[in-house]
Amino acid sequence: MRTGLLVALLAAQLPLPAVAQEQPPLERCIFFSSTADSIKKGRAAEESQEELRESIDKWKLENGISGPVTETPQRPEPKPYWRSSISEDLLLTPDIISDTAYTLCWKGVVSPVVCTSGSMVCW
């Protein structure tokens, strides 16, 4: 009996196995994109990037994300207003890639230029 009690007391003093210890949280990511149009490519790209920034900031505020996040440029799918898809010959190259956003533009139907910007946000 004493041996069983001694083993139980020793076991109670041992550290928990590594599996039971707190693990760092897994990184979570979400993709954002925004589309804007204009007469000129530079303005449409700028507006889509501004709207992307506003969307990310609003999401962070609404979800209480206050810690560090990483924003990585990610090529978005075009979001055409009047077409069902964008063919390669309509794309206005080169694409615009910054530290935080990937922007691609194409010839629009009503507006001369339409751009979509995309970013992967991880926290």
Contact status, residue 68 vs residue 97, Cβ threshold 8 Å = no
The tens digit of pLDDT for each residue in 28-37 reads: 999 999 999 9
The end-to-end CA distance of the chain, in Å, is 53
The tens digit of pLDDT for each residue in 63-101 reads: 999 888 999 999 999 888 778 889 999 999 999 999 999
The tens digit of pLDDT for each residue in 15-65 reads: 544 555 565 666 899 999 999 999 999 999 999 999 999 999 999 999 999
In this structure, are strands 113-122 and 29-38 parallel, antiparallel, or unpaired? antiparallel
pLDDT at 104 over 80: yes
Residue with tokens 């694409």: 95
